[in-house]
Amino acid sequence: MRSPRLQTKLFFRKSPKPLTGQRYTKNHTIAFFIPPFFNMASNESELHHSGTTNLSLGRIRSLFHDEDMRRTWLTRNASWRKMFVSQPPIEEIHWKVTREDQPEPGGRMWPEKTALFKFPDGLRMGAFYDLILGTTSRYHITWPSLECHRESFEHSDPPSETEWKVYQVNTKKYRRNAILIHQYVFMDDRPEYQQREMFWNPTDLRKYRQNLATVKSLVWKEVAGGGMKWTYESHGNDAEAMECFLRATQEPGHREEEYP
């Protein structure tokens, strides 16, 4: 398979433009086998243009009920791991994690962390799959729209604070070639998490530290003059920041203070 054109069509070689007339082309071959990763409904033949898909380890397990598929999929150095998830390739993952197995600090919301992963050479399926399977346990995954337009409000009244935040997220989504992942960690997800090796070759996610741009924690802090407010505290992108990300995204049922 030495033809550059063929390698591009098969998502092994980077393309500077989409393979179709839309903003970019998702990897239809991989999407056929694991449609939830690509916002593709299992009973439809077409990929969704936008929107969010719900993904859990239980749902992933249901995709690998066939033993032959598991054997092929889990082959070491399988070729699918080297394929780009899209053309042109996605270059960022914006990751937000909410721990719903922990108490609410400040009595207002659940603990949250955000992380930004950058893949300047393009996000390949192996990294995307590792980051999902190496963490836990339920996700809302939003791909950028395949269309070029931006959403607008349907009414003339000023948007509420919630609407405005959603709009800002969508604006970034359209402007950037990024996948948005919101991960929820629940106390009762441990059994599924422990069974994930059935469809994943365990990988130390620290190998992706080189792609980690920043990690931030939402903290409840006292402000000058009295009172409290929510603010993001940056952990940077060093080894400690990666450990912070792993503590927040792995092992359901644990609270952060239980880690050394």
- pLDDT confidence of residue 215: 93
- pLDDT confidence of residue 209: 96
Top-confidence residue, 186 or 161: 186
Pairing relationship of beta strands 86-87 and 138-142 according to DSSP bridges: unpaired
User: Tens digit of pLDDT for each residue in 193-242?
Assistant: 667 778 888 899 999 999 999 998 887 777 777 777 777 788 889 999 99
What is the share, in percent, of the chain residues with pLDDT greater than 70?
Answer: 73
Top-confidence residue, 50 or 132: 132
- pLDDT confidence of residue 164: 53
Q: Specify the DSSP element, H or E, that contains 221.
A: strand 212-222
- pLDDT confidence of residue 192: 65
- pLDDT confidence of residue 258: 40
Q: Are 116 and 94 in contact (CB under 8 A)?
A: yes
Angle (CA) 62-183-215 rounded to 5° is 140
Q: Are 117 and 92 in contact (CB under 8 A)?
A: yes
- pLDDT confidence of residue 130: 95
User: Tens digit of pLDDT for each residue in 54-103?
Assistant: 888 888 888 888 888 888 888 888 999 999 999 999 999 999 998 876 65
Q: Using alpha carbons only, how large is the chain's radius of gyration in Å? A: 19
Question: 3-class DSSP state for residue 64?
Answer: coil
- pLDDT confidence of residue 259: 34
- pLDDT confidence of residue 172: 57
- pLDDT confidence of residue 189: 62
- pLDDT confidence of residue 225: 76
Phi-psi bin for 225: left (phi > 0), alpha (psi -120 to 50), beta?
left
Top-confidence residue, 255 or 140: 140
Top-confidence residue, 144 or 164: 144
Query: Can you name the residues that pair with 230 across neighbouring β-strands?
Result: 220
- pLDDT confidence of residue 257: 42
CA-based torsion, 72, 123, 201, 185: positive or negative: negative
- pLDDT confidence of residue 198: 81
